[in-house]
């Protein structure tokens, strides 16, 4: 986050629409994949010369251009100029710290959302995805992490199963968004497993490491909430079908995605409440343990108080003490001390103090 803020400060004073990449990821190389499809057509290719993607497609054919990697600004600029994107849109594409949103530019919609992955070490990895929906084309821009969640969509296009090839660019956009949202459930499922395991640890054997795990999960929930909550507004705006680019049939499917995002938000809120409750349980458990320790130490100190008194009484260094010449004084003193300690122990047990 600190690096992102530092990079944003570089744009201070620059004119609006200045293209600067803001983000931490640097893909080794940018991949640009072009997929043209229709009811009787499917063609997929990876291009190295961007001029190939500038050829306008047949109006009856939908073109999906997927850009994986954003650190080469010239790629975004040339592709954006080819499709007539506003400079502010290209600026937002390169800024990977955007809040999920949708903007209507008349001839196209610009959509931003977050794609989450489970990392190799169990952490949650986020990647910003920018989607530009046109009348017969879709542009998608990814940050450049290895792999994405769009492979099922690609397989459906290759196999020709379902209605994806026969529908337009708005349906493809729905499919991409639906795939991203469905993957949220997979990420949340692994997070819920962590929460359940941590809940057992909090109750059975809490430790300082437990607190670190709790705060780590709370940060993840805040992280997820920040990336998911605004998407509800995005989908609500798209389901109203105020744009001519979204047809009525696709609007129905978008309502289904809206329902899914509401479920995701509910799961996140419940998980946050559970973590807050677990933190309270941990603090209560630690306090109870401390109270038990203090109670035990207090009882021990109370038992030894009369013994200390007797030992100090007979330890006074006076010459004329009546007990000094008593033959059985030492055994009698020990017997008195032990009897006093045993009597106090029985008294405490009778009072159920330990």
Ranges of each domain in the chain: 2-284, 316-354
Tens place of pLDDT for every residue, the chain, 354 residues? Answer: 444 444 555 555 456 656 676 766 655 678 888 888 888 888 888 887 766 555 555 777 888 999 888 877 888 888 888 888 888 988 888 888 888 999 998 889 999 999 988 877 777 888 899 999 988 899 999 887 776 788 888 888 888 777 888 888 899 999 999 999 999 998 888 888 888 888 888 877 777 888 888 888 888 888 889 889 999 999 999 888 778 888 888 889 999 999 999 999 999 999 888 888 888 888 787 777 788 888 888 888 888 888 888 888 777 777 777 777 777 777 888 888 888 888 888 887 777 776
- pLDDT at residue 131, as a whole number: 93
Distance CA 62, CA 171 (A): 10
Contact 82, 53 (CB under 8 A): yes
Integer angstrom CA distances of residue 47 from 52, 67, 117, 134: 7, 10, 26, 21
Contact 337, 307 (CB under 8 A): yes
What's the CATH class of domain 2-284? alpha beta
- pLDDT at residue 54, as a whole number: 56
Q: Helices in the chain by DSSP H: which ranges?
A: 2-8, 73-83, 87-94, 151-159, 169-204, 208-239, 248-314, 329-350
Paired residues of 140 in beta bridges: 66, 131
Distance CA 192, CA 221 (A): 11
Q: Tokens 């029985």: give the residue.
A: 346
Give this prediction's pTM.
Answer: 0.77
């Amino acid at each position: 986050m600190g690096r992102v803020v530092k990079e944003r400060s570089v744009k201070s004073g620059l004119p609006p629409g200045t293209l600067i990449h803001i983000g931490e990821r640097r893909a080794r190389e940018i991949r640009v994949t072009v997929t043209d499809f229709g009811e009787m057509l499917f063609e997929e290719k990876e291009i190295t010369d961007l001029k190939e993607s500038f050829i306008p497609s047949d109006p009856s054919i939908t073109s999906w251009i997927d850009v994986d990697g954003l650190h080469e600004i010239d790629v975004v600029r040339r592709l954006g100029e080819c499709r007539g994107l506003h400079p502010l849109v290209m600026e937002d594409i390169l800024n990977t710290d955007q809040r999920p949103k949708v903007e209507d530019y008349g001839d196209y919609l610009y959509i931003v959302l977050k794609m989450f992955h489970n990392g190799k070490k169990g952490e949650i990895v986020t990647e910003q995805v920018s989607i530009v929906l046109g009348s017969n084309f879709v542009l998608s821009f990814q940050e450049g992490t290895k792999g994405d969640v769009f492979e099922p969509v690609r397989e459906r296009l290759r196999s020709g199963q379902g209605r994806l090839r026969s529908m337009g660019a708005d349906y493809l956009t729905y499919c991409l968004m639906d795939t991203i949202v469905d993957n949220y459930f997979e990420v949340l499922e692994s997070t819920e497993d962590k929460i359940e395991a941590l809940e057992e640890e909090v109750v059975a054997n809490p430790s300082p490491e437990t607190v670190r795990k709790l705060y780590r999960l709370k940060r993840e929930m805040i992280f997820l909430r920040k990336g998911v909550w605004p998407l509800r507004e995005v989908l609500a705006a798209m389901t109203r079908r105020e744009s001519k680019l979204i047809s009525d049939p696709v609007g129905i499917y978008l309502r289904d995605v809206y329902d899914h995002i509401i479920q995701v938000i509910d799961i996140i809120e419940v998980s946050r409440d559970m973590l807050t409750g677990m933190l309270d349980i941990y603090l209560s458990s630690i306090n109870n343990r401390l109270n038990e320790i203090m109670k035990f130490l207090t009882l021990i100190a109370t038992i030894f108080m009369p013994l200390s008194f007797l030992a100090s009484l007979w330890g006074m260094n006076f010459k004329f003490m009546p007990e000094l010449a008593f033959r059985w004084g030492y055994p009698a003193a020990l017997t008195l001390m032990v009897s006093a300690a045993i009597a106090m122990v029985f008294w405490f047990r009778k009072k159920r103090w330990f």
